[in-house]
Amino acid sequence: MRLHKSVLCLFVLFTALQAQPKQAKQAKTDFNAPFPAHKIIGNVYFVGSEQLATFLITTPQGHILINSDFEATVPVIRASVEKLGFKFTDIKILLGSHAHGDHMEGDALVKELSGARVMAMEQDVPLLRKMMPGNKPHPIDKVLKDGEQVTLGGTTLTAHLTAGHTPGCTTWTTKAEENGKSYNVLIVCSVGFNPGYVLVNNKDYPSIADDYVRSFKTLRALPVDVFLGAHGSFYNLQTKYESLQKGGANPFIDPAGFKTYLDEKEKAFTTELAAQKAKQ
């Protein structure tokens, strides 16, 4: 009887261990789970996945894509662009929010498929150079500086350096026209910090804490009507998309939501910074 129980326990353990790789694979696959492509406002569209936000800015002279996400996400993005009735090959410029794989790993593939010019904030270039899926060199056709504008087909986007999450974390702003009104659109990079971020005496990034403080100040000074971000969770994508389907006022016009986002992130940052200083 004891032998039978031992064999049974070993079988259960073996089954659990066998399932772990599948679960891990599924967890990564979830990043690429499709989300309905949709118009946000004016010429601004969502073409990302459930977890990763990618935006298409359309113009008469071609389009701008913000965030290529993982290389494995690119087919999802391409399918969304085409479902909206646009050509992926009409993407002329590729921008990004920050040099993490879940936002800019797919740059080389997007450039290969569309011929788009890849532009990135100068402070993130060293990190991007190391991002080489399949050993493909990371393309950077133009290095951007804080406050620089990118213009195509009558649409202008401004790059705001909001460093901290990465040294070149870039928040994008533009204007969108709808129903005779002009709206300030903001796509926040991120002012969150991942587990393990060293905010005090960081040898690799000495100015990280000061950069976060400066970024909160910068973001609070920007005019915002439409609040978007590098992850849909930043701006409650799921809830707002469901509301959009019901008609009525555009749920993405949400300046209050942006203030709430900043308040929550700044409070978390301040608390973590104080805790790390206390351990010194």
At 45-96, the pLDDT tens digits run 999 999 999 999 999 999 999 999 999 999 999 999 999 999 999 999 999 9
CB 98 within 8 A of CB 170: yes
Identify the helix (H) or strand (E) that includes residue 14. helix 2-29
Q: What's the pLDDT tens digit per position in 160-202?
A: 999 999 999 999 999 999 999 999 999 999 999 988 999 999 9
Average pLDDT for residues 113-138, to the nearest whole number? 97
Q: What's the pLDDT tens digit per position in 127-139?
A: 999 999 999 999 9
Q: CA-based angle 104:189:172, to the nearest 5?
A: 95
User: How many Cβ atoms from other residues are within 10 Å of residue 110's Cβ?
Assistant: 25
Q: What's the pLDDT tens digit per position in 197-228?
A: 999 999 999 999 999 999 999 999 999 999 99
CA nearest neighbour of 41 among 185, 238, 247, 151:
185
CB 127 within 8 A of CB 167: yes
φ and ψ at 215, to 5 degrees? -70, -40
Average pLDDT for residues 248-266, to the nearest whole number? 97
Distance CA 128, CA 28 (A): 21
Q: What's the pLDDT tens digit per position in 5-41?
A: 443 343 333 333 344 333 333 344 489 999 999 999 9
Q: Give me the pLDDT at residue 108, please.
A: 98
Domain 35-278 fold is Metallo-beta-lactamase; Chain A (3.60.15)
Q: Give me the pLDDT at residue 30, please.
A: 81
